[in-house]
Amino acid sequence: MRAVPRYRRRRGVVQLRGLIPLVDARFESQREAWCFLAIADAAITTPEPQVWIEIGGVPTYRLDLAYRRRRVYVEYDGHEAHSSDEQRAHDRARRRWLRDNGWTAIIVREGGFSGDALDAWLDELRAALDPTYSNRRW
């Protein structure tokens, strides 16, 4: 924020001023931040990053982006972190527990930041947050 005046009249500074308040040190990857920015750009209430879910008082599962009250979470599944058989099994068990305990998952994968893929997960998020929402693309 302090450096913005230095770049006055440069291309992209107006957009930068709008993005600065969205920066959060809790993002653990660029793609998590991209998910957050896509949500903000779609004018959807922004989620909280890195939310811990406790089981029996013990922090057990951490969600990339979550809406605690609505029990909805958004996760980016990058190929690198979710490609081994062990990691996929862990993800299935974790998501099953979360689903069984009332959480709705919105999973964003590689290629999910443009076109129909972006529209699809954002519409899924809107519907999860507001059950009265219906996608009315004609």
pLDDT (tens place) for every residue of the chain, 138 residues total:
777 787 777 887 777 777 777 777 788 888 999 999 999 999 999 999 999 999 999 999 999 999 999 999 999 988 666 677 888 898 999 999 999 999 999 999 989 999 999 999 999 999 999 988 876 554
> What CATH code would you report for 24-129?
3.40.960.10
Backbone angles phi and psi of 8, in degrees to 5: -50, 140
Using CA atoms, how far apart are residues 110 and 83, in angstroms rounded to an integer? 12
CA-wise closest residue to 117 among 50, 35, 32: 35
Q: Which two tokens stand for residue 28?
A: 């653990």
| 3-state DSSP assignment of residue 49 | strand
